[in-house]
Structure 1
Amino acid sequence: MNPLLQNTLILCLILGFAGMEFATRRYQTTVRASRNDTWLEGLMFVSLLAVAQPTALLGSNALCAWLLPEQRNALADWPWWAMVGVLLLADDMTQYWWHRLSHTPLLWPLHRAHHSARYMSIRVTYRNNFFYYLLMPGLWLSGVLLYLGFGAVYLVYVVVKIAVILGAHCAWRWDEVLYRQPVLRPLAWVLERTISTPATHWAHHAMSNRDGVGHYKGNFGNLLFVWDMLFGSAHITRRYPPEVGLVDDKLFGDEHWAAQMFYPLVRSRRIHSALRPGGKPYDDDAEQELA
């Protein structure tokens, strides 16, 4: 696969999922995005493509050329399945742990923007802090693997991963039909334990865990949900949370897009905020105390 074909397929995926969001009227009836949301999502998408991803991939390539000049394409003769296995470990499993660590107080400010949306849609997929992607280990390790000769397989891998991630965030809940049709439930059982699905990933975006559906302290997988199964963070209900977003935004108002995107360079003006020194995120317990 060449880069032009890869980009064409990715564009088709974006348009396809967007089309299903509109065709099913899920976008019109559930997405209530503000101008603040649009600025954050638009600028993050552009910065990821134009700055963070090229910096990580080209930067790691340059480091390899400097430190390992004789190893360029050293692994190019590996079979495709071996390359996929290494990519799943070096990119997807490390992203699982990066994501999981980003739900700790230290790194939460770099990830909270992804959870501040009060809706689910493909437009949320790359909504994050700028430094969240710039520091993501999987991107830098992918650059190393590209240097070692994983290029063609990596292009296909990225298309598959983006398809799963877009599908997991999409306002159109494609997995619902699998749960409704008895003949498809065995397939659903396998899929929901293998890849991220709307039901499992929406639970991760839930505002509350109290109803037994939400699970914002788990379901961290991006491409593979297998990591959640292996590392004890999985929660499968085949249901969708009634409300997504963050309790602190509900209580104190939305953070400005600039603070969400560029913290710690830009800091929140809100009294109660994780995007300012000494601030902390709020959760269900905090909401209960302040109610």
Structure 2
Amino acid sequence: PAAALATWRSRGPPFGMHPDQQLVQLLAVVSIFLVFGIGEVLIGKFFAPEAGREDNRLDVAVGIMFPIVSGSVFAAGRALCAWLFPDLRDAWADWPLWAMILTLLVADDFTQYWWHRLSHTSVLWPLHRAHHSASYMSVRVVYRNNLFYYAMMPGLWLGGALLYLGFGWTFVWYSVVKLCVIIGAHSAVRWDQWLYRYRVLHPLAWVLERTISTPATHYAHHALTQDDGIGLYQGNYGNLLFLWDILLGTSRITRQYPPAYGLKDDRRHGQERWYHQLFYPLLRSKRAETVLGYEKHLPVD
């Protein structure tokens, strides 16, 4: 057994990251969540006084299910590549760092921009509405989506393929940086407010808010309304790079935070049940004015 373990550690599991890479990624992910989560606890925001019973149950369920679903998609993507292209394992492992990063930004982050943007149309909105049904911003919301939203996400499938092709450590550190940005953009810890408060930091703020997602720009995307000049749930789609929104004309930068979050239909008719949000279309709601049932899809607002 010891010899077999040593061999596995030296070669790594088929089509994926080596155990050391998996360990580093896991520790980094847990650490980032803990830092922002503890920050939210200290300012009294983690347990979200606005959260209802369905919110709490959905947040816990997503926390359990997301690693399983995303890990399965990565594994399936790697296995599919191994079946279709058995001779290409680690074929791109010698690429220069800049080429790997550029490829990841396009294959993962740019495709996620378009996946996110499509999710704000009637085509995919039922799979994404859980992310917007929270009336609060928090690390709890980061991966709050329907499971099929992730099962079909192009970036996860392409990520599995790039791991098979040898992106290993570059993928690990790229994912850590991206996670820092997206957790920071959802967290109730508004780290960017310090950049706006001090004039000497305004040039840095100008660059950052046009490059990556920040709390101010992403909070706007979760706003209850976009009629106040702050909210923009039909824009600000970027995950790691907000630059995509700048280039494609879907950005709004105000350096302000919306006064309220969530969905108007939930306020009118009450929250959807957590399992309808998580498992649609396997489970469908009978609530009045719903997009999680058999009725015709409604506009996002």
1:1-291 map, 5 Å:
2-27=21-46, 31-50=49-68, 52-281=69-298
**C-alpha offsets along residues 136-176 of structure 1, whole Å, 9 cap, x if unaligned?**
00000001100100011001111111110100000111100
TM-score, length of structure 2 as denominator length? 0.91
Distance (whole Å) between structure 1 residues aligned to residue 289 and residue 43 of structure 2: 38
Distance (whole Å) between structure 2 residues aligned to residue 126 and residue 31 of structure 1: 20
- How far off is 1:33 after superposition? 1.5
- How far off is 1:79 after superposition? 1.2
Distance (whole Å) between structure 1 residues aligned to residue 285 and residue 95 of structure 2: 49
- How far off is 1:124 after superposition? 0.6
Unaligned runs of 5+ in 2: 1-19
Distance (whole Å) between structure 1 residues aligned to residue 271 and residue 258 of structure 2: 20
Identity %: 55
* Equivalent pair of 2:122/2:300 in contact (CA under 8 Å): no
* Runs of 4+ more than 4 Å apart: none
Local SS of the residue matching 1:117? coil
Distance (whole Å) between structure 1 residues aligned to residue 163 and residue 142 of structure 2: 24
Unaligned runs of 5+ in 1: 285-291
Distance (whole Å) between structure 2 residues aligned to residue 74 and residue 17 of structure 1: 37
RMSD: 1.3
Between stretches 193-202 and 35-44, larger displacement belongs to: 35-44
The 3 A distance-change label for structure 1 pair 282 and 65 is closer
Distance (whole Å) between structure 2 residues aligned to residue 71 and residue 83 of structure 1: 16
Counterpart residue identity of residue 20, structure 1 = G
Residue in 2 aligned with 1:287? none
- How far off is 1:26 after superposition? 3.8
Counterpart residue identity of residue 14, structure 1 = F
Counterpart residue identity of residue 42, structure 1 = V
* Equivalent pair of 2:21/2:168 in contact (CA under 8 Å): no
TM-score, length of structure 1 as denominator length? 0.94
